[in-house]
Amino acid sequence: MKNEALLVINSGSSSVKFAAYDVGADPTFQRIASGKIEGIGGQPRLRVAGQDGSVLEDRAISLPADPARGQEDAFRQLFEWLGGHAAGRTLGAVGHRVVHGGEHFSRPVRITPDTLAQLERLTPLAPLHQPHNLSAIRAIAALLPDVPQVACFDTEFHASQAWVAQAYALPRHITEAGVKRYGFHGLSYEYIASVLPEHLGAAAEGRVVAAHLGNGASMCAMRGCKSVASTMGFTALDGLMMGTRCGSLDPGVVLYLMRALGMTAQAVEKLLYEQSGLLGVSGVSGDMRTVEASGTPEARQAVELYVHAIGQQLGSLAAALGGLETLVFTAGIGENSASIRQQVCHNAAWLGVALDEAANQATSSAARRISTAASRVAVWVMPTNEELMIARHTQGMLPRGARGA
Ligand code: ADP
């Protein structure tokens, strides 16, 4: 097991994010490089950063305009780059973030033609993500047929939830057909759960809500470092308002859009996934930084609604836990927007949250407590690391098993 690398892939509609880890001599998964190919189908660019954050590559690349062929070619160019910087290492495995594992996959799985076919059947449940996750697996299988690939699921961390947290009040035969709450961002929550003991000590076992606020956003209630409830449901559309997704919505709205406004299912899907959320309400952008900087009345309302939705869902999760001892902010907005954290914490004063304003404003990339010493709820910012979680799972799935064997 010397001089071996693991590659982690998170493949989306217009970008491929990756991280490469050294798994040869060091059991802590040293990240060698990470980066992304973005602008697939538009103006593609390859950006790679080294272990210390230094820029190793940042240049325009040329890809076919067709996004499917573009993705395939993106992987070819990524492997060319990695091959040129492998420093004698061979690629031992590729681990993928796959958004939906459905009912059958509650653990990571080694990819075979059969597992791939099963995962393809889940595409309607995550139309924005699943197709791109799976086409990445196919593209890499074509380029490197002998390298094992492992799928790690955003749903798997939530498999611990009780029946009441997962069921909808729908007829039995619909529930039994798999229409239930799955929850997502599980790799992020699993990582947060893995570092809670180091930061919280014994309180890690207590009642914790983690808020993953990125382009997609959700919250997860944990007890004993296990998922008890989450804001996302059957699809990654439910719960919080997001960059371009609406979050919780009366299902009657969907019926109205189709019946009274004559929208097709495809048009409704586009509206709810791609044109709603911060983008739809602000009319400016789905990117929080841009919305916060814009300052138009609509942008301010978008932020207000975003914060309001977090407050409502936080109340619901605190109820599921029967109280709250720790609140954790993570992902792009959670880790970087002091203003959103401040507004959320202000609204959560009724739960016993008291923010330390100075600690909240301080910029740091380390996990840190931002509530006052007297706050009944400890509030933390913890950087997430989904890639590391995938790397650990992928390594665990390889036949040679434990490291160093
Ligand atoms: P993804 O879900 O694609 O992994 P991220 O977790 O990187 O996304 O989160 C992206 C979001 O984080 C964007 O809305 C971006 O504007 C927001 N964000 C990043 N930095 C800041 C910041 N300093 N202030 C406010 N929002 C930020």
139 found inside a domain: yes
The residue written with tokens 């929080």 in the block is: 288
Helices vs. strands in the chain: H and E counts, helices first = 15, 14
Whether residues 97 and 190 fall in one domain: no
Strands 55-60 and 45-50, by their bridges, are antiparallel
Q: Which residues of the chain have pLDDT under 50?
A: 1, 401-405
Q: pLDDT tens across 192-213, in order? A: 999 999 999 999 999 999 999 9
Question: Residue 2 has what pLDDT?
Answer: 57
Under 8 Å between Cβ of 316 and 219: no
Instruction: Return the closest-CA partner of residue 218 out of 319, 331, 341.
Output: 331
Q: Determine if ligand 1 sits within 6 Å of the CB of residue 131.
A: no
What's the CATH code of the domain at 199?
3.30.420.40
Whether residue 399 lies inside any domain: the answer is no
Decide: 205 and 232 in contact? Cβ < 8 Å: no
Residues linked to residue 218 through DSSP beta bridges, in sequence order? 212
Residues 52 and 144 in one domain: yes
Total domain count for the chain?
2
DSSP H/E element including 328: strand 326-330
Q: What is the pLDDT of residues 132-181, one digit of tens each?
A: 999 999 999 999 999 999 999 999 999 999 999 999 999 999 999 889 99
Q: Is 215 in the pocket of ligand 1 (CB under 6 A)?
A: yes
The reply to whether 134 and 204 lie within a common domain is no
User: Which of 185, 337, 387, 390 most suits a substitution to test ligand 1, by most atoms within 8 Å of the C-beta?
Assistant: 337
Distance from the CA of 287 to the center of ligand 1, in angstroms? 7
How many Å apart are CA 292 and CA 14, to the nearest integer?
Answer: 24
Phi, psi of 76 (to 5 degrees): -60, -45
Q: Whose CA is nearest to atom 23 of ligand 1?
A: 336
3-state SS, one letter per residue, for 5-20:
EEEEEEECCCCEEEEE
Same-domain check for residues 144 and 224:
no
Q: Which residue has the tokens 């619901």?
A: 316
Helix or strand holding residue 212 (H, E): strand 207-213
Q: Is the dihedral of CA 49, 368, 382, 392 positive or negative?
A: positive
What atom in ligand 1 is closest to the CA of residue 216? Answer: 2
Q: For residue 205, count CB atoms less than 10 angstroms from its CB and return exposed for 0-12, middle for 13-18, buried for 19 or more.
A: middle
- Specify the pLDDT at position 402: 42
Is the minimum distance from the CB of 318 to ligand 1 under 6 angstroms? no
Write out the residue range of the structural domain in which residue 110 sits. 4-153
- Same structural domain, 336 and 193: yes
Q: What pLDDT does 204 receive?
A: 97
CA 151 – CA 227 distance, rounded (Å): 20
Residue 402 lies in a domain: no
* 173 domain residue, yes or no: no
Tally of residues, the chain: 405
Q: Are strands 207-213 and 217-223 parallel, antiparallel or unpaired?
A: antiparallel
pLDDT of 89 reads 86
Question: Residue 37: what residue type?
Answer: I
